Structure 1
Amino acid sequence: MSVVENSKIDRILAVDDTRDNLILVQTILESEGYEIDSVTDGKSALEKVTQSPPDLILLDVMMPGMDGYEVTRRIRKNPELNYIPILLITAFHESSVVEGLDAGADDFIRKPFDTDELLARVRSLLRLKHSLDEQRKMARQREDFVSRLTHDLRTPLVAADRMLDLFEKETFCPISPEMKQAIAVMIRSNQNLMQMVNTLLEVYRFEAGKKTLNYESCNLPEIASEVVSELIPLASEKNISLKLDTSQLDNLGNKAGVVMGDALELRRVLHNLVGNAIKFTDTGSISITIWETNHNWVNIEVEDTGYGIAIEDQATVFERFRQGRNKRSGSGLGLHLSSRIIEAHEGKISLTSELGKGSTFTIQLPKNLH
């Protein structure tokens, strides 16, 4: 993509302790329509990049004080900077190139350089920069669209849920048993859709870095007991036993099973895992076991006797929008959101499963966050 095609003038920062080299680079690049800033040392380069990030950096390797390798490393370690291509200019042998690329540079050119080669490498790196910027822009637009869409969908869904509840209670007029049954189906469908919308909204809050967790002392056995009480009617409808086992915590005192975390989010994870277990289990049982490891970690295991998950699907089960092959599989967001929540608590979530024999999800949570 040329300067003209891009419509926006690309800004290039040239860094070299020899002014004659800067003048030469500036003359070559300005003749092609680029806007050039120049500095003579690494410290000034870092200040310039932080204040006004350029589209590309031409960086001399050998400079007094802070060399080009160190400048490159510091730029790459700055989380507040978007990607900026770095073209190293070196007069030395192959090992210097290796060191530069390992430090995070994208390309190199040797002194004395050919003008056409310099321009070709500049164009190549700027095309990469523009491509990545466009992808980042599209990702932001997509996330903003989904966030707005899911937020706006909640309002009519909540309204519909309340209205259906009034219908079911015969607030407006008496209704037939057949109509009550139909309304009950509509209520369940509406609630399922509401759950999908809520999950999608939470996923994009995490992806956008806008999710704030409220850390407090969380009693996991109590949270698990609440989830079991809420979901046991669903298990009973399928004649599946649902049990919570905290016996291994009995002799560990009143702090047993207590972690620092966001109670609502941890409850969401347990609700999702147990709800999935009920959905994918037709016969047998579901057990939730909580125990501690070395008084530093609390473990939660959700085990079922359901369909199980194929080995080839287990590696990607926590990926976003990764749906299972079972016909009852949902949007592929629940497990992804659960993994994001556990990771935010500095914990781990894992799966072991065998087709036809069931699945076991194991959560490990630190008792104290670092």
Structure 2
Amino acid sequence: MAATEDRDADLRGRVAMLNQLLLCVILVVIVLAVAITDRAADHSLLLVATVIVLAGGAATLVVPWARIARAWVYVIPLADIVAIGLARSEQHLLGIELLWAFPVMWMATLGLTAFLTAAALVLVEFGAIIALAGASGSAVSYLLPAAVIVAIGVTSYVSSRRYRAQRVLLDKQTALLSGALSRAQGHEELMTDVLDAVDFGVIRITADGEVSVFNEALGRIQRSIPGFGRLDRPIGDAYAADGVTRIEEPDRPLRRALRGELFENEVIWFGPPDQPRTALSMTARQLRSGDGAPAGCVIVARDVTAELTALRARDRLVSSISHELRTPLTSVLGYIDLAIDHLDRPDDAARDLDVAAKNGERLLEIIADILAASSTSRGSIDLTISPKQIDVAELVQQAAEAWRARAAYTSISIDATDVLPASAWADAARIRQVVDNLVSNAVKYNVDGGSIAVRTSSDGTSTFIDVQDSGVGISAEDQRRLFEQYFRARRDVEGSGLGLSISRDIVRAHGGDITVRSAPGTGSTFTVRLPAQPRGQGDRELHA
């Protein structure tokens, strides 16, 4: 409402200025013309009228119409009517009464009351001038100018009313449009917030092929896959769900969606197979306008790299564990069958059962490793150890002797000459598990005809166990992941990928650690550090 009133006041000011200035110009031109053509006559009334009109013109320029009452606007047009009447009093200025049209039209824009007041004043003043002048002639010739002026005023009044009605209608329509625009902006902001909150990328492509909508998740995807979601930047390498079948540019999801194809949860790998890469699950849906015409498409892309990597790791783990369990289980069943066949030969049956029992123990060890890994807490395992003062040299000698037969199959020698007397505060069974794992790896990852050296030493504070092999060595990149659960540097060697992870947790539960020194082609050396002296008494449960 305040804005409307301000606009009305501003409009009154502009109308006053335009009407009055135009009247001033016309009247000045008349004065100049009269002064040039009729110098002998007395034009004092015309000059007074001109001064009144010019004063009104000056007032329209300096008066702040928006700050004063509306009724004050009537003063200037009413003064103009009086001034024109004075000028018309000079009988030789016939026709000048037509200038009354300007103030009458002005008053007509101010409302019905203002118009009727101005029309009445004009008629009264014109009638008085005619009566005082005692003019003769047809009444029509005198009344015609007044009638024309009133008609002009009526036309102005009707036009003004129509303009006001149209302006009110436009104001209502403007308010409706402003409300609709505000609601649309609110919906757009809400949609933007929702799209930015989800964890999948959204691409909206118009029917003309322009990308018109995207969200923050898409921006994150674009940082890992430069050019994704853009038609002007081709993406390097893209592969099908198997990760090896290359997808050419025309067959990639964005191009297919633009052709009108639909697809759902289609997995695409981006990046070369031998480098870190990203997998996206992509879905395309066509959009249609209200009349059913095609309106482009929307593509949803979700990063499933972690999920697919975990699934592949699970599949590899299941395959590896199946292989690890199958070998000793087959041996158990086979030797039990042999023992049954040798019931008539107790010695042979006992030997067969002994082999079956050892393989059964191996099965228990594998299952124990899996259970230990599955009960992870913050990436490590829960271990119960019973430390006491143990002879580490004797334990390492026993482990070396136990693996000599297995190493002999591939002509690998195990040297224990540097196993020196050393003791540690540790759980003997757990440390034997660690040493067995290290020696087992040294055998499995060695070369035919290679060598293994085991050593022990102590400085009185810490006791060290070294297992060195002449195998293929370990790259720096693999060394960084060597102690991760399920990690395996080579897929052609059997194993579950749990041994080193569990071994490190066991050693750390004792207050020690395992380190490795290696390089490709030079073999590897694993060093176990254990406390040489007790740090407490009795059994205790430690969490690595």
Short-chain TM bin: 0.3 to 0.5
TM-score, structure 2 as length reference: 0.33
- Higher share in helix: 2
TM-score of the aligned structures, taking structure 1 as reference length: 0.48
RCO (CA 8 Å, sep 6+): is it higher in 1 or 2? 1
- Which of these two proteins has the greater Rg computed from alpha carbons? 2
